[in-house]
Structure 1
Amino acid sequence: MASPRALVCAAVASVVLVGGTAAGTFYVQARAHAGTGVVSSAAASSTGEAGGEATVEQVESVEPVVDRDALLARAMAEVSVADGAEVSVAVLDVATGERAGYGDGAFDTASIVKVDILAALLLQAQDAGRRLTAAEEAYATAMIVSSDNDSASALWRVIGRAEGLDAANERFGLTGTAGGEGMLWGLTQTTAADQLTLLGQVFGDDSELSAASRTYLQGLMGRIAAGQDWGVSAVTDGPGAWALKNGWLPRTATGLWDVNSVGRVTVDGHDCLLAVLSDGNATKERGVALVEAAAGAAVRAVGASGS
């Protein structure tokens, strides 16, 4: 008779990857071996009749593991991307933890960096044990709500330009973002994955930012001026279901547009963090259409939208 220890060891299940589908679903097969206590009726009835021990029937189960990146890639294949344009997307369903990413290139931030600038300012103020000054609050409101560039330049100086931004981002966990040279804050380079990380700092509880700082920044992102509230908001349930910041920038050398959108959106009751970056767009309007289509693909990939 096998010892109890041997029976326990024999119960360890092996996991084997057995296949996948074009939809991005892989199947994991778990095999439970002898000692699990599951005995076939035939084996049980023969116990003692032939003087031998009962044989335990092998049990197999199959459970799906969904590859969300593959689903997003498939959805993005149906998004119309004009020749020369590039797009990258990152999304997280806050409730389920499902996430997906498409593209890993670096893009100009344009005005989405204004969220990062304010986050850096708030972090520096926390470290100093102070509140924002009245002037800083006025700049912050204009910079986020109306995307005022002069206000962004003023706060860029306050945080210490690229050096200050990069120091804050190191603490925020951004690894692929570098502040623009001199006063060129709009040419800060970033990735969609980093923007998703930054959104986690702004909207999540596990953050370098205090609850008060997060609430302040979230509130401004929920008050974007009319005409600037496009982008990731296109996938939401309606008014009040988003907090965002957009960026748009025509490049002098090429005449092509950088168009970006980042924020928190509510889709079919799911809260998602969503970042869409693009460049090489012939016009701002085409860039907006691309960003909004990519946003729709992203929320479908994490199961936040049944459409």
Structure 2
Amino acid sequence: MTMQEFLSELGRRLAEKWFSLLVLPGLLFLASVTVAAVVGQEHWNDWSYLIRRSRDYAADLDRQPAVTLVLAAVGVLLASAVVGLAAGALAGVAQRLWLGDWPRPLRPLAARLTDRLQERWRNCEDPVAQNRISLAEPDRPTWMGNSIGAVRIRVEIAYALHLAETWPHLWLIMPETSRNEVEQVRSEFNDAARLGAWGLLYFALGAVWWPSFLIGLVTAFSGWRRGRTAIDGFSKLTEAAVDIYGPRLARVLGFGSGGVPLDPKTGLLISLLARKHA
């Protein structure tokens, strides 16, 4: 493949991704905004009214010059992309909220919720019920945040390994198939957060057209459920990666043979190397 063919293929794939992630969902949302603006709360279920008004608008468009129609179409595509970018930014906010990284105004509430979860976890006598709360003592106000936090705590208890500092080293020695699996569930979490963000936008549109409330609730809930599933898979894969490839990392760094499981002494040496004794 020549460089020109490579760049052409790359441009095509980027255009497809840009259209599927930004433009297409944005067009659907703009269509909903248009319906909401036309029918409002008063005619929310009057489809004959919507059809009649749509025919009037279509007749007005037919009388416009071709240049105006082309510019309008370009404007709609750009507006769709802008809405898609806004949903992407909102998805980042949703991820932080799901993972328990709440902004300063919400931190007192986060602290109270975390305290309640810790109390429930400590007083729970049924191990199965306790694990449903968290696999380790909760330190975040949300289940997703505690699912990730439990991996860090369990790895540190078992191997004295500080996961945040050593994960990049572990990632470099993992086979491509294993990295692809981790990246896949991470991508699923991103998609779930984006779906939840679209749900919030539709929910806000309900102020103009109340059926959009229902669309937003269903969409946001679906995104949240998918997010839980993705985080559960991501947490399990991360912990499994430490168990399986931790001994190999110890061998590569010169701290073990690679043929036996990690022990706390070796894990601490790896952590110290990763942190550069900081």
TM-score (norm 1): 0.21
- Larger strand fraction of residues: 1
